[in-house]
Amino acid sequence: MTDAAGVLERIASLSPFFAVGTGPVPDGRWQPTTTLRDPLTRDALIAATAERMGITEARVAASTLHLGYAARLWSVAVGSVAVSGRCIGLEPERLLWKTEGGTLLLHLPDPQFGASPSAEVLDGQIEPLITAWGSVLAPGAMWGNTASALTGVVQVVGDPAIPHVEALLAEPRLRAALDPSTRRRRSCCLFYRTPGGGVCGDCPFPSPPADAPRHRR
């Protein structure tokens, strides 16, 4: 039987975005992902992201962070199930994070297999984060981010990911986030409000809304 660390090594070869560190915690400001729910940690991370992006709207920085984090979680969960039939455990108390050069990195000191992708990602990570970040960014936008990030995993993992992604998209919390006929989001990730930003391929808007910033930094 392939061990969890071996599965993480396999999926890391698909893309650097799928990489999760393992073993003893390296030097650096690593924290349990539970701290992402803390208002002070959240606000500091959002502020640093906004500064790096050259924007002033906290909700736009929050959406960028949330979408990237959801994509990282789905990469690990769906990637591991696709290559091994088992999902890596992503318990918030055990999964560590830090940012480096604007990139959010993940680390599991002792990787183990966990429950289903839905339980590991939606129940354990995303839903509590949406509750904690709801005062900064609309929950509907975050559920849209979560569904959009999930569909993107197929582009890297390929056909083995499709049945897992389809099953997850049928989950009630995600089913309402996308139009079933077009797979377009029902909410916007706000990328159009970033410097040089436009609309994404699954955006509900065909072109940037009229309130798109006119002046870019």
201/71: higher pLDDT: 71
Residue 217, pLDDT above cutoff 60: no
111: left (phi over 0), alpha (psi -120 to 50) or beta: beta
Average pLDDT value for the chain? 91
Residue 216: CB atoms within 10 A of its CB come to: 10
What percentage of the chain has pLDDT greater than the value 70?
A: 95
Distance CA 87, CA 119 (A): 10
205/68: higher pLDDT: 68
| 90, 122 contact by CB (below 8 A) | no
pTM: 0.92
Q: What is the mean pLDDT of residues 158-178?
A: 94
pLDDT band per the 50, 70, 90 thresholds, residue 214:
low
Q: What is the mean pLDDT of residues 57-81?
A: 96
Residue 17, pLDDT above cutoff 90: no
91 residue type, one letter: E
Distance CA 212, CA 132 (A): 27
